[in-house]
A and B are shown apart, each in its own frame.
Chain A
Amino acid sequence: MLRLEKITIAQGDFLLKADFRVTPGRKTAVIGPSGAGKSTLLGAIGGFLPLAGGKLWYRDAEITEAKPGQRPIAMLFQDNNLFPHLSIARNIGLGIRPDLKLSPEDHARVAKALERVGLHGMGDRKPGELSGGQQSRAALARVLVQDRPVILLDEPFAALGPALRHEMLDLVHDLSDEANATLLMVTHDPQDVRRIADDVIFVEGGRAAAPQPAAALLENPPPALQAYLG
Chain B
Amino acid sequence: MVAGGFVVAAVLLAFLGIGLRAEVGRGIGPAEWAAIRFTVLQAALSAILSVACAIPLARALARRRFFGRGFLITLLGAPFILPVIVAVLGLLTVFGRSGWVNALLQVAGLPTLSIYGLHGVVLAHVFFNLPLATRLLLQGWQSIPAERFRLAAQLNLPPKMVRRTLETPLLLQVVPGAAALVFVICLTSFAVALTLGGGPRATTIELAIYQAFRFDFDLARAALLSFIQLVLAGGAALVALWIIPNFSLSAGLDREMRRWDAQPGLQSMMDAGVIFLGSAFLLVPLGAIVLAGVPGLALMPLSVWKTAGNSLGVAVLSVAVLLSIALPMAGWISTRRAGGAEAIGLIGLSASPLMIGTGWFILINPVTDPVPLALLVTALINALMALPFALRILVPPTREVLTTYDRLSRSLGLQGWSAWRWLVLPRLRAQIGFTAGLTGALSVGDLGVIALFADPDRATLPLQMYRLMGAYRTEAAAGAALLLLAMALALFWICDKGGRWRAEA
- Chosen A-B contacts, 12 in total, with CB atoms closer than 8 Å, are A46-B411, A48-B410, A69-B412, A80-B404, A81-B408, A83-B408, A85-B505, A94-B414, A98-B413, A99-B421, A100-B418, A146-B412
State whether A94 and B404 are in contact (beta carbons under 8 Å apart), knowing that A46-B411, A70-B413 are contacts in the complex: no
Question: In the complex, which residues 388-424 of chain B have their Cβ closer than 8 Å to any Cβ of chain A?
Answer: 404-405, 407-408, 410-415, 417-418, 421-423
CB proximity of A134 to chain B, nearest CB, Å:
16
| Binary contact readout A86-126 vs B (1 if CB under 8 angstroms, 0 otherwise) | 10001000110011100000000000000000000000001
Q: Is the CB of A67 within 8 A of B410?
A: yes
Encode contact with A along B462-505: 1 for CB under 8 Å, 0 otherwise.
Answer: 00000000000000000000000000000000000000000011
Closest B residue, CB atoms, query A154: B407
Q: Which 4 pairs across A and B sit closest by C-beta, in order of nearness?
A: A69-B413, A85-B504, A99-B418, A68-B410
A226 → chain B, closest Cβ, in Å? 34
Kindly state the separation between the CA atoms of A94 and B417 in the bound complex, as whole angstroms: 14
Report if A47 contacts B (CB, 8 A): yes
A71-88 contacts to B, CB under 8 A, are 73-75, 77, 80-81, 83-86
Bound state CA distance, A69 and B412, in angstroms? 5
A95 touches B505 (CB 8 A): no
Task: Assess the B407–A94 pair: CB atoms within 8 A.
Answer: no
Q: In whole angstroms, what is the CA distance A80 to B409 when docked?
A: 10
A128 in contact (CB, < 8 A):
yes
A68 CB contacts on chain B under 8 angstroms? 407, 410-411, 413
Query: Is A74 within 8 A of B413, CB to CB?
Result: no
Q: Would you give the 0/1 interface string for A1-35, flagging 1 where the beta carbon is closer than 8 Å to chain B?
A: 00000000000000000000000000000000000
**Contacts A70-B413, A98-B415, A128-B505; is A85 near B408 (CB within 8 Å)?**
no
Question: Which residues of A lie under 8 Å from residue B408 when comparing CB positions?
Answer: 77, 80-81, 83
Given contacts A69-B411, A69-B412, 16 further A-B contacts (CB under 8 A): A46-B411, A48-B407, A68-B407, A68-B413, A77-B407, A80-B404, A81-B408, A83-B423, A84-B504, A85-B426, A85-B505, A94-B422, A98-B414, A98-B418, A99-B418, A100-B418
Tell me the dominant secondary structure on chain A's binding face: loop
> Looking at chain B's contact residues, is the secondary structure mostly helix, strand, loop, or mixed?
helix
Q: Which chain A residues lie closer than 8 Å to B411 at the CB level?
A: 46, 48, 68-69, 73-75
Q: Are B410 and A94 in contact (CB under 8 A)?
A: no
- The answer on a CB contact under 8 Å between B426 and A86 is yes
Question: Which residues from chain B contact A100 at a C-beta distance below 8 Å?
Answer: 418, 421-422
C-alpha gap A221/B427 in the complex (Å): 48
Instruction: Verify B413–A84 contact, CB threshold 8 A.
Output: no
For A90, what are the chain B residues with a Cβ–Cβ distance below 8 Å?
422
With the chains together, A4 CA to B405 CA distance in Å? 27
When distances are taken between beta carbons in the complex, the residues of chain A under 8 Å from B407 are 48, 68, 75, 77, 80
Residues from chain A with a CB closer than 8 A to the CB of B410 are 47-48, 67-69
Contact with A along B145-158 (1 / 0, CB 8 A): 00000000000000
List the B side residues contacting A95 at CB < 8 Å.
412
Contact indicator B414/A69 (Cβ below 8 Å) = yes
> Given the interface contacts A48-B407, A80-B404, A126-B504, does A86 sit within 8 Å of B422 by beta carbon?
yes
| Distance to closest chain B CB from A75 (angstroms) | 5
Bound Cα distance from A94 to B410, whole angstroms: 12
CA distance A70 to B410 in the complex (A): 9
Chain B residues closer than 8 Å to A146, beta-carbon distance: 412
Check A85–B427 contact: CB distance below 8 A: yes
Chain A residues closer than 8 Å to B426, beta-carbon distance: 85-86
Closest to B418 in A: A99
Give the CA-CA distance A90 to B411 in the complex, in Å.
16
Q: Which residues of chain B are within 8 angstroms of A85 by Cβ–Cβ distance?
A: 426-427, 504-505
From 161 to 213 in chain A, residues with beta carbon under 8 angstroms from any chain B beta carbon are none
Rounded to whole Å, the gap between the CB of A209 and the closest CB of chain B is 26
- CA–CA, A70 and B411, complex, Å: 8
Residue of B whose beta carbon sits closest to that of A73:
B411
